[in-house]
Chain A
Amino acid sequence: MAGQDDFAQRIDAVLATDELPRRFAPAAAYADVASGLLVMPLARKSRALIMWFRPEFISLVSWGGNPHDKPTVAGPNGPRLTPRRSFELFTESVRQRALAWTPAQIAAVSKLRVLLMELVVSRADQLAELNYQLAQSNEELDAFAYVASHDLKEPLRGIHKYAHQLLDKSDGLSEKNRLQLEGLLRMTLRMDDLLDSLLHFSRVGRVMLEFESVDLDAVVAEAIEMVDARRAERPTEIVVERPLPPALCDRVRVREIFVNLLSNAIKYNDKPVGRVRVGHLDPDQQAGFDDWPVKPGENTVYFVADNGIGIQARHAEEVFKMFKRLNARHEFGGGSGAGLTIVRKLVDRHSGAVWFSSVPGEGSTFYFTLAAASGA
């Protein structure tokens, strides 16, 4: 109720009243249980309060005359004040009031508040310190991944080079040795792929995002163009169901999300013709999706659905893990196994969520959320 919010917002110190309905009219409705109120605000922003209530205490008050009677008499020029003529006692029951709070009670609550505030402040300090340490160690981790992958690439290039030259120049090579050298070459290339993914992942974690209102239809069109080469290898129809609403996001990163999801949808498909649908569910279209990790109806949910090989439920967490592959390396065109890890990192950095539903053998649908563009 708006009235309550306003009332709560105005309280910035310990407040005690024994006549709540007079200070807050709606309270008249529950005056029997809450005519007295003692409030201790905890935090102004969150409007957190601790409240003690006192029931109505009907007391009899004796007046020297009925205070509700106007001491007037009708005169020729209208009502006119006259002195009271009666000195009889007037007794009235006073309703919607509670027993008054004692100074000791109010002082105790004030003291409690000071103690709690001190606790809150020291907890906030601890949290800030922990946060700082966390940010620091995240930064170090990213820098580590970055440096490590660079410094690892240089010797790798040397290994590749010598393997290549041995293979190239040695005539008297046995078949077995030749195969071993070819294996060595393949492994250096694979290692290079992994290092690239690691580098990319560490960059995705550190790069500054540029948030703006983004036309997602244009972004998806670009993403579809970027996966075109894959479609040549594996015929796939891609349909965008209906125009997507704009979102507040980093255009380049969100395009990367779509490129990764589309690539997977095309790649992990064993049907003669792959079918991929890109679409969204408005908040009012999300009833019934109770298995989602986000509350349905709060954000627009975007999805990329395919008719591919699907994912077994027991692999639900695995698919997002770095370098974790669910299929043998040579199946479905290989890949470093970093795509979905990067998708999750990108969605995380947009404060969104990503998840999927799948029927093995029939297909998968990957969902994610982004903040809606303001004014959209």
Chain B
Amino acid sequence: MLPPGPTPSLLVVEDSDEDFETVEEAVRSAGLGASPHRLMSGDALLQWLDTTFVHHPMIVLMDLNTPGIDGREALRELKADRRWRSIPVIVMSTSANPRDVEACYAAGANAYHVKPLRYVDHLTLVTGVLKYWLQQVVPSTLTAATP
């Protein structure tokens, strides 16, 4: 059993409307109770963390190909910052390129998934990932330094 505590909040870095919708559908259909907060780019993520983020727990679902600095760079900066590095980051990418996979893990990604083309497969994947990270993983409860 998980220790009692708030459900981690869910941050989604995704510039594709369709893919963000799929995340919302997964949250709804699995009754996860989280309300995904959407950011459109890696820049927006770093800015949000810098100005709005107060404390854990939360997880970040991140697409790699976002406008501005791309997901890889945002991931590197997030994991290099001691205030944020214990936040789990789950990469969701169209790219199955081993170089992307390797770069993300090296930067500290907690998981890497390739988005499938088929809607049903995609929905199943996102649902499974969210159930796991939001319901089964013991979240980090560290309180971040006040911004």
- Tell whether, in the assembled complex, residue A154 and residue B65 are in contact, meaning their CB atoms are under 8 Å apart: yes
Is A160 interfacial (CB 8 A cutoff)? yes
Contact of A161 among B22, B94, B95, B97 (CB under 8 A): B22
Q: Is B118 an interface residue (CB 8 A)?
A: yes
The size bracket of the interface on B is 10 to 19
- B18 interfacial by beta-carbon distance below 8 Å: yes
What residues of B have a CB within 8 angstroms of the CB of A199 in the complex?
Answer: 96-97
B141 — which chain A residues lie within 8 A by C-beta? Answer: none
Which A residues are in CB contact (< 8 Å) with B122?
157, 161
Partner of B117, one of A146, A151, A165, A189: A189
Alpha-carbon separation in the docked complex, A146 to B119 (Å): 23
Q: Is the CB of B16 within 8 A of A154?
A: yes
Measured CB to CB, the closest approach of chain B to A208, in angstroms, equals 11
Check B120–A157 contact: CB distance below 8 A.
Answer: no
A161 and B65 within 8 A (CB)? no
CB distance from A148 to the nearest CB of B (A): 12
B18, B65, B95, B96: which contacts A157 (Cβ < 8 A)? B18
In the assembled complex, the CB of A204 is this many whole angstroms from the nearest CB of chain B, namely 12
B73 at the A interface (CB under 8 A)? no
Instruction: Report chain B residues within 8 Å CB of A203.
Output: 97
B72 in the interface, Cβ–Cβ < 8 Å? no
**Is the C-beta of B19 less than 8 angstroms from some C-beta in chain A?**
yes
Say yes or no: A189-B118 contact (C-beta < 8 A), given A150-B95, A154-B94: yes
- Do the beta carbons of A156 and B117 come within 8 Å of each other? yes
B19: which A residues are within 8 A, CB to CB?
154, 157-158
Instruction: Tell me how far the C-beta of A60 lies from the nearest C-beta in chain B, rounded to whole angstroms.
Output: 82
Secondary structure dominating the interface of A? helix
Chain A, residue nearest B19 (CB): A157
Can you name the residue of chain B whose Cβ is closest to the Cβ of A191? Answer: B117
Cβ–Cβ contact B117 & A157, under 8 A? yes
- Closest beta carbon of chain A to B99's beta carbon, Å: 9
Residue interface bits A189-216, CB-to-B below 8 A is 1, else 0 = 1001000000100010000000000000
Q: A188 to chain B: which residues have CB within 8 Å? A: 117
Q: How far is the CB of B113 from chain A (nearest CB, A)?
A: 13
List the A residue with the shortest CB-CB distance to B97.
Answer: A203
In the assembled complex, the CB of A331 is this many whole angstroms from the nearest CB of chain B, namely 24
Contacts of B16 in A (CB 8 A): 154, 157-158
With a cutoff of 8 Å between Cβ atoms, the chain A residues found around residue B117 in the complex are 153, 156-157, 160, 188-189, 192
B119 lies within 8 A of A165 (CB): yes
Q: Does A164 contact B (CB under 8 A)?
A: yes
Q: Which of A137-191 contact B (CB under 8 A)?
A: 146, 150-151, 153-154, 156-158, 160-162, 164-165, 188-189
Q: Which residue of B lies closest to A192 (CB)?
A: B117
Of B16, B17, B19, B94, the most chain A CB neighbours within 10 A belong to B94
- Chain B 11-43 interface residues, beta-carbon cutoff 8 Å to A: 16-19, 22
Contact, CB under 8 Å: A150 / B119: no
Query: How distant is the Cα of A156 from the Cα of B95 in the complex, in angstroms?
Result: 14
Contact, CB under 8 Å: B119 / A153: no
Which residues of B are found within 8 Å of A150, using beta-carbon distances?
A: 65, 94-95
Inter-subunit contact B94/A160 (CB<8 Å): no
B residues less than 8 Å from A161 (CB atoms): 18, 22, 119, 122
Q: Are B119 and A160 in contact (CB under 8 A)?
A: yes
Q: Give the complex CA separation of A199 and B100 in angstroms.
A: 13
Q: How far is the CA of A203 from the CA of B122 in the complex (A)?
A: 24
A162–B19 CA distance with the chains assembled, in angstroms: 11
**Cβ of B5 to closest chain A Cβ, rounded Å:** 34
Considering the chains assembled together, what is the distance between the CA atoms of A156 and B108 in angstroms?
A: 29
- Cα distance A198–B120 when bound, in Å? 24
Given the interface pairs A150-B65, A164-B120, the reply to whether A157 lies near B115 with Cβ below 8 Å is yes
Which residues of chain A are within 8 angstroms of B95 by Cβ–Cβ distance? 150
Q: Which of A231-276 contact B (CB under 8 A)?
A: none
A22-54 residues at the B interface, CB under 8 angstroms: none
Could you tell me the distance between the alpha carbons of A150 and B66 in the complex, rounded to whole angstroms?
Answer: 12
Q: Is the CB of B97 within 8 A of A160?
A: no
Shortest Cβ distance from residue B41 to the other chain A in the assembled complex, whole angstroms: 15
Q: Given the complex, which residues of A lie within 8 Å of B94, measured CB to CB? A: 150, 153-154, 157
- Closest Cβ of chain B to A281, distance in Å, is 35
Which residues of A lie under 8 Å from residue B118 when comparing CB positions? 160, 164, 189
Extra pairs beyond A153-B94, A162-B18 (12, CB < 8 Å):
A150-B95, A154-B65, A157-B18, A157-B122, A158-B16, A158-B19, A160-B119, A161-B22, A161-B119, A189-B117, A189-B118, A199-B96
Residues in A lying within 8 Å of B, measured CB to CB: 146, 150-151, 153-154, 156-158, 160-162, 164-165, 188-189, 192, 199, 203
A-B complex: 3 closest residue pairs judged by Cβ atoms: A158-B18, A161-B119, A192-B117
A and B contact pairs by CB, cutoff 8 A, 5 listed: A154-B65, A158-B18, A158-B19, A161-B119, A189-B118
